[in-house]
Amino acid sequence: MPTRDELRRQAEELAQQDAVSVPEDVAALAPAAIRQTLHDLRVHQIELEMQNEELRRAQGELDAARERYFDLYDLAPVGYVTVDETGLILEGNLTAATLLGVARGVLVKRAFAQFIHSEDQGLYYRYRQQLFAAPATVGKAAECELRLRRHDGTALWARLGTTVASAATGTRVLRIILNDISVRKQAEGERVRLEGQLYEAQKLEAVGRLAGGVAHEFNNLLMGIMNYVELCRDVLPPEHAVREYLDEINGGAEHAADLTRQLLAFARKQIIAPTVLDLNDAVTRMLKTLQHLLGEDISLAWMPGAAVWTVQMDPSQLDQILANLASNARDAIDGVGQLSLETRNVVVDGANSAEHAGADPGEYVQLVVSDNGCGLDKECLERVFDPFATNRSLIQGTGLGLPTVYGIIKQNHGFVCVSSELVRGTTFRIYLPRVEAAVAPAAAAMPKPVPGGRETILVAEDEKSIRITTGCFLEKFGYTVLAAESPEAALRLAANHPGPIHLLLSDVIMPGMDGRHLAERLRATRPGIRCLFMSGDTAQARALRGVLDEGEEFLSKPFSREDLATAVRAVLAGV
């Protein structure tokens, strides 16, 4: 900017130029004093004009600076507020006002605590106290994360970055930066929820693997008990009083075997084998198990329909559907409640198809499962069959139960409708298509002759009771039996036996070597030997069925001696 002397010199030069333009006759008439005064006035006028120009330039720079301030402060991506020692807001930018849902003018002179969520008020006051506590020097800073409450009552998560500053009056103030971290917090919450669901799913898978192992051992024990019962029956006359006790023992063992089957069904390790079912009979068999699952505080109401049609599905899948729905009902009921089961025949046609979205016209058996628990809200009801779309009230679940139910129903060509009201409960209406077939009669009602033979069978089984009883059965059927308690013992017996060995009957899992490797070792010296594997873990059956060679079959434990004789004869005959 030019100095005053420079401005005067420039003004005098301009005045001299102006003086030249004055007519000589006018200039000659004016006294010297008047000419000097006119010259000075002209210089002063020029100085004022130049100063005004500088002022206009400075005003332009100030306006530009204000615009930059507006961009950097008011329209910043974070909120800025200044709070005095009493907690009142002295100023705030537009971003802060927008975050808090108020006009900027309303924000000022309000207590900042009014915008803190009620559950985080204590945290905010401790935060302020920490900053103002001695020594509260200018520049002291701290951060915290808490929830803010907008003017409309909604909440948002924010990170507060605060610095102690000095106001123009000499008092201390807090300069607070507000960062909206709601999206991050929501993502963290979702991640924690999904990790929890994954952990629960992994626990379920671990339980399934444990169930397979337990079932293997349990089925071995059950099979030994039932086999010894059969051997005792063989040596007792029909009128002997002990036979009644043996029948009770065998009935208990069969019931335990049925519970093992249901355990494997819940763990999804059962081989799927659809069969014609009377739904009333199938549900009735599950009632005791369901009541144990529900607990003492929840009653179970069973209302079977009259003359319901038959359906076709695997009984273990029906057990799985009922177990999952009962488990959900138990978690949804707080305290005392009720689960109701009902069956009826339903015909879907053009007149009522609107009530059954996604259903093909036809005849169905309807299974209704209702509880009086907490119910589902509209959002959860729309996603009820999505994986991990679990209602908050059902947080104990894995998030996979209802998707499994839906998958089983669709696999069996059925459909399901769900209705629910908060506090009033939830109802699942399951529709299974009718089949024009009768339920197969129980095997015991049609006795068949037991086949036998004269071949030599090598039995490899580490469970003593099964090894002994199976050997006894086979000998009664006419076979020659070589019994081995381990794969190594089986190999020694085979090496020392001078005659042919026609069949290896081997457990799948044994110490030191599994049944498949034992069979491979035996084929090296006895190429024509056939194999029949047995196991109490049906998951092993599913794994083996895809890799069995010609002349190999699988028999699931526990099995009766009739099943054993039939399977042995079929393998030896190559059918």
pLDDT at 387: 61
- Residue 68 shares a structural domain with residue 125: no
Does residue 261 have a pLDDT over 70? no
Comparing 140-149, 202-211, 314-323, 355-364, the range with the smallest average pLDDT is: 202-211
Express as a percent the part of the chain with pLDDT over 90. 40
Total count of domains within the chain: 4
d(CA 483, CA 315): 36
Same domain, 565 and 471: yes
Q: Is residue 225 part of a domain?
A: no
Residues 60 and 169 in one domain: no
Tell me which of 480 and 218 has the higher pLDDT: 480
Which comes out higher in pLDDT, residue 32 or 420? 420
Task: Kindly give the pairing relationship between strand 79-84 and strand 425-433.
Answer: unpaired
Question: Do 88 and 141 reside in the same domain of the chain?
Answer: yes
Cβ atoms of 204 and 398 within 8 Å: the answer is yes
Nearest to residue 506, comparing CAs of 517, 497, 495?
517
CA 312 – CA 429 distance, rounded (Å): 17
User: 134 with 37, same domain?
Assistant: no
CATH of the domain at 101: 3.30.450.20
Same domain, 530 and 387: no
Cβ(268)–Cβ(538) below 8 Å:
no
- 343-389: pLDDT as tens digits: 999 998 865 555 665 567 889 999 999 999 988 888 888 778 776 55
Least confident of 214-223, 472-481, 534-543: 534-543
pLDDT value of position 1: 54
User: Rounded distance, CA 522 to CA 492, Å?
Assistant: 10
Most confidently modeled range among 64-68, 174-178, 538-542, 558-562: 174-178
Q: Cα–Cα distance between 267 and 141 in angstroms, integer?
A: 56
Are the C-beta atoms of 249 and 225 separated by less than 8 Å?
Answer: yes
In terms of domains, do 374 and 453 share one?
Answer: no
CB 157 within 8 A of CB 185: yes
Residue 20 pLDDT class (50, 70, 90 cuts): very low
CATH of the domain at 562: 3.40.50.2300
**Residue 10, pLDDT above cutoff 70:** no
Q: Which residue has the higher pLDDT, 53 or 415?
A: 415
Judgement on whether residues 428 and 451 belong to the same structural domain of the protein: no
Of 396, 422, 440, the last residue of a domain is 440
Report if residue 429 sits inside a domain. yes
Query: Is residue 399 scored above 80 in pLDDT?
Result: no
3-state secondary structure of 319: helix
| Domain membership flag for residue 499 | yes
The pLDDT of residue 487 is 95
Same-domain status, 379 and 422: yes
Given this model, what pLDDT does residue 196 score? 79
CB-based contact 288:228 (threshold 8 Å): no
Q: Residue 158 has what pLDDT? A: 94
C-beta separation of 77 from 180 below 8 A: no
pLDDT tops 50 at residue 546: no
Is 239 inside a domain boundary? no
Q: Are residues 167 and 145 in the same domain?
A: yes
Label residue 522 by pLDDT band (50, 70, 90): very high
Q: Is residue 45 part of a domain?
A: yes
Question: Do 454 and 492 reside in the same domain of the chain?
Answer: yes
274-303 pLDDT per residue, tens: 889 999 999 999 998 899 889 889 999 999
Our CA dihedral for 262, 267, 270, 272, rounded to 10 degrees, sits at 100
Peptide bond into 558 cis (omega under 30): yes
| Among candidate residues 381, 416, 440, the one where a domain is terminated | 440
Name the residue with higher pLDDT: 162 or 536.
162
Q: What is the pLDDT of residues 54-97, one digit of tens each?
A: 888 878 777 767 767 666 778 788 999 999 988 999 999 999 99
Percent of the chain with pLDDT over 70: 79
Given 153, 180, 207, the domain boundary residue is 180
3-state secondary structure of 300: strand
What's the pLDDT score for residue 267? 53
Task: Give the per-residue pLDDT at 541.
Answer: 52
Whole-number pLDDT of residue 16: 59
| pLDDT at site 136 | 59
Residue 253 forms part of a structural domain: no
- The domain that contains 281 carries what CATH number? 3.30.565.10
Instruction: Specify if 189 maps to a domain.
Output: no
Same domain assignment for residues 331 and 426? yes
Q: Which domain covers residue 114, as residue numbers?
A: 82-180
As a whole number of angstroms, the distance between CA 129 and CA 425 comes to 48
| 224 found inside a domain | no
Residue written as token pair 């009820």: 384
DSSP sequence for 129-189: HHHHSSS--TT-EEEEEEEEE-TTS-EEEEEEEEEEEE-TTS-EEEEEEEEE-HHHHHHHH
Question: What pLDDT shows up at residue 352?
Answer: 58
Buried b (16+ CB within 10 A) or exposed e, 386-415: eebebbebbeebbbbbbbbbbebbeebebb
